[in-house]
């Protein structure tokens, strides 16, 4: 009988009835969530329907009303480089206005009614209009929120770890990695915290595994930086004299690490410092500028 009353209450809520569920049946407890996320998400950019499967189980006496899944990148604390002279007050004000004017959205969000699927599939693409793919060798925070018909709520938070993504560009291959952490104004990978060093070792191990699959390819390693002012300004011009050589030093540091610790032949590497000549996000966008501070690997025969 109690189960039937719960069911009737759920049908009423979902149908938009005016009356509320019988509070005498309210369990006053949060739903119990069990979520299993694979250890590594390895989507192939060349496969259209390559997805990760996340298993979701819910144990709860009352019917589930709705749910929400939100996925956000866990941005690394990469050090900024080469501080230029401070921007004039007018320029600072304009930068703040541009940043505040953006409407922030999760990288991915999906809402649903009733109970979430027991096997939830995701292709790694953003729900934003851009539909961009997850970043290579980057961790994403997965959050599931579930509400029952009495608004008892439960959250689960976990991590989706993305593998190295190898993209084909004609006869070449490209790997883009924004998750290697450097200290500010330095290419020394040992001068970051112990936690950041552990994170770097994991990322570089994934990169080495990917590169080892293409032993006949030469590898160009490009270092990229985030600008500290708008293109064409005096500060931008001055910072390029520092950021280009620094980004090359960082590319060399990555190659040296891979050669020393992962047995990738040094003779395969060529290094280029790109500085801020090919950014992928607005320098003033604090939510996205981390993508500019990256290392790219171009593989060619």
Q: Spell out the SS3 assignment of 18-48.
A: CCCCCHHHCCCCCCEEEEECCCCECCCCCCC
Helix, strand or coil, per DSSP, at residue 139: strand
Which of 82, 133, 126 has the alpha carbon at shortest distance from 104? 126
> What pLDDT score does 92 carry?
40
Residue 28 CA to residue 47 CA, distance in Å, equals 45
From the CA atom positions of the chain, what is the Rg in Å?
24
Distance CA 95, CA 92 (A): 5
Q: Are 129 and 170 in contact (CB under 8 A)?
A: no
Q: What is the pTM of this model?
A: 0.83
Q: What is the mean pLDDT of each run of 10 residues along the chain (301 residues)?
A: 52 55 90 97 75 97 97 72 39 40 76 97 94 95 97 98 94 96 94 96 97 96 90 74 94 98 97 94 87 96 88
Whole-number pLDDT of residue 82 = 42
Cα–Cα distances in angstroms (integers) from residue 138 to residues 10, 68, 200, in the given order? 40, 22, 11
Residue located via tokens 């500060």: 235
Task: Please tell me the distance from the alpha carbon of residue 3 to that of residue 98, in angstroms, as a whole number.
Answer: 53
Instruction: Give me the sheet containing 119-122, strands edge to edge.
Output: 32-36, 52-59, 119-122
Which domains are delineated in the chain?
A: 27-82+101-163 (2.60.40.10), 164-301 (3.30.1330.60)
* Bridge partners, residue 153, by sequence: 147
């Amino acid at each position: 009988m109690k189960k039937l009353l719960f069911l009737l209450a759920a049908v009423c809520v979902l149908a938009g009835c005016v009356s509320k569920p019988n509070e005498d049946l309210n369990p006053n407890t949060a739903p119990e969530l069990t979520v299993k996320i694979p250890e590594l998400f390895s989507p192939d950019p060349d496969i259209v329907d390559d997805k990760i499967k996340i298993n979701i189980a819910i144990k709860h006496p009352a019917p589930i009303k709705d749910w929400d899944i939100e996925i956000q990148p866990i941005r690394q604390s990469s050090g900024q480089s080469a501080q230029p002279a401070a921007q004039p007050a007018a320029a600072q004000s304009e930068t703040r206005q541009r940043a505040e004017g953006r409407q922030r959205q999760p990288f991915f969000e999906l809402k649903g009614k009733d109970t979430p699927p027991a096997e939830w599939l995701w292709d790694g693409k953003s729900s934003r209009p851009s539909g961009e793919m997850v970043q290579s060798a980057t961790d994403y925070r997965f959050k599931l929120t579930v509400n029952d018909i009495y608004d008892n709520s439960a959250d689960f938070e976990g991590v989706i770890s993305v593998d190295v993504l190898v993209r084909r560009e004609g006869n070449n291959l490209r790997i883009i990695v924004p998750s290697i952490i450097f200290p500010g104004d330095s290419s020394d990978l040992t001068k970051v915290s112990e936690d950041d060093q552990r994170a770097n070792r994991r990322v570089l191990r994934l990169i080495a595994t990917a590169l080892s699959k293409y032993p006949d390819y030469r590898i160009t390693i490009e270092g990229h930086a985030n600008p500290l002012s708008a293109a064409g300004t005096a500060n931008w011009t001055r910072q390029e004299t520092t950021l280009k050589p620094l980004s090359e030093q960082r590319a060399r540091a990555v190659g040296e690490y891979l050669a020393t610790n992962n047995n990738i032949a040094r003779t395969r590497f060529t290094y280029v410092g790109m500085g801020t000549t090919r950014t992928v996000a607005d320098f003033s966008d604090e939510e996205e500028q981390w993508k500019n501070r990256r290392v790219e690997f171009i593989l060619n025969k």
